[in-house]
A and B are shown apart, each in its own frame.
Chain A
């Protein structure tokens, strides 16, 4: 295209009502954006390369960048597609005019337009092209390259796709197929935005330039999260069954905490707990606890780096999981039972719901190796993975004077878990601390029922100087029996949204359900029919935090649990003789509920905050 035609084209483009991209998102593309009020994260480093200026001087691109923001565009002068280079040039021209109207801005920006047709677009041609554009006082330079060898690395560096177009005889037509792009490059040679033809908009580009030049507007700090919200589950679904449910969600970025003195919780447990039993060969130390904590939150401790212990024992969810009845493991594999809380687990003589394990050091290997939990294929796999992780270097040696191994991994995790002691509850302060006002009147009545008419303390015992709220025994309450024996319902009620339910045919649901695995409780271990559906008595400390309830999470609320026991459990041949209908009235169950809710430890928030502060190990 000769210069006259080019000028005519530019005139045409400039004076015709613009098509699509020129003004198409205008006003709009930049609407709602405040200069400096948003971020333009660096997309990458701008590439260097050898170019020729319009006055035929050899330069490197970096000589033309790095001192101030640069708008770099790629064109070829014979380009004739209305939506292509002329369009871009017109928008760039518009930008140049606007910049010139702002004396404070015009010296602070450089525009570079580089041809990708070095064969045709010699410095002379670029000079003519430049002359056809009135760039005024703006620093707008038109560049080309000496050869395609010089050009290609630049195109590659900017990931600027360009293809020569050939005719049916394989001859170069002089045309190119390319995605037109314009690059905004900051003074630090970082690409901060890329604009493509259809969406190249003068307002947005200028707003971005100004944003690069502006002092960033300080981000409005997120409103502080009240303490009451900070340590509860951040995705609150209470009242979700009702149509007037409203979210009270907490930003994950605000899930921040600080480390606690965990050793102190092991050495002097909070009010209401006895001295912590710990094995003679694994007394607690700060180093072991810190190492165990690191392991506990490390998602690499699973076959595919997706599961740490904390994915099921979530600090703000009672070190359990409030969001499902029974757990899922690696690849979503079904776990039969509810993730139990780890609060006060150091006192448990029976581990797992069926009580099949007897020490934490050994227990931790259960989930690590279970195919449907963390799915590690072998002990050696875990040991090798930890030993190969740079961030564990020296930590086992420091804590145990020996390297990571089956024994020390168990000891470290157990050491951390033994610090999760949460007591000093309202009940503890009232009962053991003798603070008369510490426990509400209904909760005091609930205590009387708990130890009296309702008989709860027969299993969930309270001792003279401490209370674990468990007899460390197994019982059959009938909850497991009921699940195993009850026929599948014809219809099932599903919640679809707040206040929205549907009763769906059981057949529809069975079509998408894997068979539910059986669960016979301690019988699976003892092989004694008398132990069918027998599960251990959990502690009731912090029970308000650990919904849903029972070994299979089948009861959603404490009210449902109280109702279950008020009915005497579920009758079956092995039902514990301790269970019987309780004949509690509504007020009495409310009082029992108040009592159960008074068992939340006073140091729970500190333990949750410590969990928030723990590093989360991720694959890199």
Chain B
């Protein structure tokens, strides 16, 4: 059967359901995680026990270095809403994103400045991660890729998007592959005009920039987006905004790759720094979203009737003329809601994306003086927010609030459940969040936890 014929899909699902019933087995493993993680890894469908926050060290605060902060988020725990572990790793590395290996036993956390990748063991004791390994050869082995950003699990390996390079600290860069043991495998340069590597330049741009990566395996699709090089992401934000040359160095592209061969196929024009990519979960929802940081738009990357992938701007975020600076986005597992955070006004905004071509903002709420990341539980009932964008981009003075805040969402209102002041606790700048659960590892499963590990 050829899945390009999507009308057959529901029949298959029905058959699958019948088969499941006949066999008396658990639900089919769905290619899913807590709404934005790699579909190749086990997911937590119930209550998460922990949030791991990859936190930037701040000069003059506590021990001044980057750390992985573990917060207990199980409401049944005596430590609910409290920091239960903090693991300092040495140096300020521009801690940014982190993600798990496909077995979800290890959390890889990248440093955009020093190019180190810290590998944490989160399975031996999910309440107290330990530093398992530090990868220090990323630039040397990759042939000069700088700024390990997204860490995305494929079976047995990690795809790591670079943001920059060691030759000019600009935006031309690559996707780098490491195996799950932490050994370098390959470098895949993002296509540029002088070598499109067989990809089609569909518009005006092929800048070779990179940011996030997501896969839609059933469509053999891998997508990358584009941000800016080291020079800009490390520069003081105000200084950069005032620098006309620096402002020309932002990505305006997304690249469609063949997931199977990891070869680039198409370069799309998506002007204004498209950042996070979130692909829909529905079995016939062949599309992904991104938001552009500078131009403040939601873009849809979708497969058209001819099976061709296209990119289209589908909504504005706030008033683009005021540069609200959309940052992290999070898609609900039912593909009906897209959360969009805007850094400058500290707001989270919910868009109804039932019609992906016409997202409509249906809710907004201020989270803090600044807000960056948002992470949702699989059921969409719990949302977590952190504050830091980049060490030198965060607001200055009193507006430099640093926090993790947990919220409950009932579809209409967002109610704060707990908040941790990362400056008050002398921790640092709170950035990427990832969830942990005992039940992923059959360890001390707390009664409320219900994690699925693709039981077979």
Is the pair A317, B22 in contact by a Cβ cutoff of 8 Å? no
Interface-side segment among A170-178, A350-358, A566-574: A170-178
Is the pair B393, A512 in contact by a Cβ cutoff of 8 Å? yes
Is the pair A198, B31 in contact by a Cβ cutoff of 8 Å? yes
Is the pair B136, A79 in contact by a Cβ cutoff of 8 Å? no
Chain B contact patch, size range = 35 or more
Contact of B456 among A176, A240, A332, A498 (CB under 8 A): A176
Shortest A31–chain B CB gap in Å is 6
Residues of A within 8 A of B103 (CB): 159, 161, 179
Residues of A8-34 contacting chain B, CB below 8 A: 9, 12-13, 16-20, 23-33
Is the pair A500, B1 in contact by a Cβ cutoff of 8 Å? no
B411 within 8 A of A: no
Residues of A within 8 A of B396 (CB): 511-514
Residues of B within 8 A of A33 (CB): 258, 260-261, 263
Contact of A249 among B193, B245, B392 (CB under 8 A): B193
B265 within 8 A of A: yes
Is the pair B246, A325 in contact by a Cβ cutoff of 8 Å? yes
Is the pair A553, B220 in contact by a Cβ cutoff of 8 Å? no
B248 within 8 A of A: yes
Interface-side segment among A127-135, A220-228, A445-453: A220-228
Q: Which residue of B lies closest to A19 (CB)?
A: B16
Residues of A within 8 A of B276 (CB): none
Residues of B within 8 A of A508 (CB): 322-323, 344
Shortest B444–chain A CB gap in Å is 13
Residues of B within 8 A of A80 (CB): 23-25
Contacts A16-B19, A19-B19, A23-B3 given; indicate if A324 touches B456 (C-beta within 8 A): no
Contact of A41 among B114, B185, B248 (CB under 8 A): B185
A2 within 8 A of B: no
Interface-side segment among A58-66, A405-413, A464-472, A612-620: A612-620
A83 within 8 A of B: yes
A57 to B326, CA, bound (A): 62
Contacts A81-B23, A235-B172 given; indicate if A495 touches B244 (C-beta within 8 A): yes
Is the pair A199, B40 in contact by a Cβ cutoff of 8 Å? yes
Residues of B within 8 A of A513 (CB): 236-239, 241-242, 396
A240 to B207, CA, bound (A): 12
Interface string of B218-252 (1 = CB under 8 A from A): 11100000000111111111111111111111101
A444 to B98, CA, bound (A): 59
Contact of B295 among A207, A254, A497 (CB under 8 A): A497
A397 within 8 A of B: no
Taking each of B13, B94, B168, which has the highest tally of chain A beta carbons within 10 Å of its own beta carbon?
Answer: B168
Shortest A90–chain B CB gap in Å is 11
Shortest B262–chain A CB gap in Å is 7
Interface string of B1-28 (1 = CB under 8 A from A): 1111000000111011011101111101
Shortest A296–chain B CB gap in Å is 13
Interface-side segment among B173-181, B332-340, B376-384: B173-181
Contacts A24-B3, A32-B261, A197-B29 given; indicate if A247 touches B207 (C-beta within 8 A): yes
Is the pair A498, B220 in contact by a Cβ cutoff of 8 Å? no
Shortest A189–chain B CB gap in Å is 15
A194 within 8 A of B: yes
B34 within 8 A of A: no
Is the pair A179, B239 in contact by a Cβ cutoff of 8 Å? no
Contact of B11 among A17, A249, A503 (CB under 8 A): A17
Contacts A250-B192, A251-B208, A502-B323 given; indicate if A26 touches B219 (C-beta within 8 A): no
Is the pair A249, B192 in contact by a Cβ cutoff of 8 Å? yes
Residues of A within 8 A of B246 (CB): 323-325
Residues of B within 8 A of A516 (CB): 239
Contact of B165 among A30, A197, A247, A252 (CB under 8 A): A252
Is the pair A494, B323 in contact by a Cβ cutoff of 8 Å? yes
Residues of B within 8 A of A191 (CB): 156
A27 to B307, CA, bound (A): 12
A255 to B167, CA, bound (A): 9
Interface string of B101-118 (1 = CB under 8 A from A): 011010000000111000
B321 within 8 A of A: yes
B272 within 8 A of A: yes
A87 to B300, CA, bound (A): 33
Taking each of A197, A251, A316, A325, which has the highest tally of chain B beta carbons within 10 Å of its own beta carbon?
Answer: A251
Residues of A within 8 A of B97 (CB): none
A229 to B92, CA, bound (A): 37
Contacts A163-B453, A620-B136 given; indicate if A502 touches B321 (C-beta within 8 A): yes
Interface-side segment among A269-277, A299-307, A431-439, A589-597: A299-307
Contacts A19-B15, A26-B1, A306-B114 given; indicate if A252 touches B172 (C-beta within 8 A): yes
Shortest B256–chain A CB gap in Å is 10
Interface string of B62-104 (1 = CB under 8 A from A): 0000000000000000000000000000011110000000110
Residues of A within 8 A of B244 (CB): 325, 495, 548, 556
B442 within 8 A of A: yes
Contacts A251-B195, A510-B238 given; indicate if A83 touches B29 (C-beta within 8 A): yes
Shortest B315–chain A CB gap in Å is 17
B408 within 8 A of A: no
A3 within 8 A of B: no
B204 within 8 A of A: yes
Q: Which residue of B lies closest to A75 (CB)?
A: B456
Is the pair A314, B113 in contact by a Cβ cutoff of 8 Å? no
Is the pair B248, A495 in contact by a Cβ cutoff of 8 Å? yes
A244 within 8 A of B: yes
A20 to B283, CA, bound (A): 9
Is the pair B248, A500 in contact by a Cβ cutoff of 8 Å? no
A84 within 8 A of B: yes
A314 to B172, CA, bound (A): 15
Interface string of A485-508 (1 = CB under 8 A from B): 000000010111110101111001
Q: Which residue of A lies closest to B389 (CB)?
A: A512
Shortest B313–chain A CB gap in Å is 11
A23 to B11, CA, bound (A): 13
A317 to B441, CA, bound (A): 52
Contact of A246 among B205, B393, B441 (CB under 8 A): B205
Shortest B92–chain A CB gap in Å is 6
B254 within 8 A of A: no
Chain B residues near A (Cβ < 8 Å) = 1-4, 11-13, 15-16, 18-20, 22-26, 28-29, 31, 39-40, 42, 91-94, 102-103, 105, 113-115, 136-137, 139-140, 143-144, 154-157, 165-174, 177, 179-181, 183, 185-186, 189, 192-195, 197-198, 204-208, 217-220, 229-250, 252, 258-263, 265, 271-272, 294-295, 320-323, 344, 391-397, 399, 441-442, 453-456
Known pairs A19-B16, A84-B454 / 13 extra A-B pairs, C-beta < 8 Å? A26-B2, A27-B4, A28-B218, A30-B260, A165-B442, A198-B39, A244-B204, A306-B113, A325-B245, A497-B271, A504-B322, A511-B344, A512-B393
A-B contact pairs, 22 of them (CB 8 A): A20-B16, A44-B181, A161-B105, A163-B453, A180-B456, A181-B155, A199-B31, A204-B260, A247-B204, A249-B192, A249-B207, A250-B193, A251-B192, A251-B194, A252-B165, A316-B168, A332-B235, A334-B235, A497-B252, A498-B205, A508-B344, A513-B396
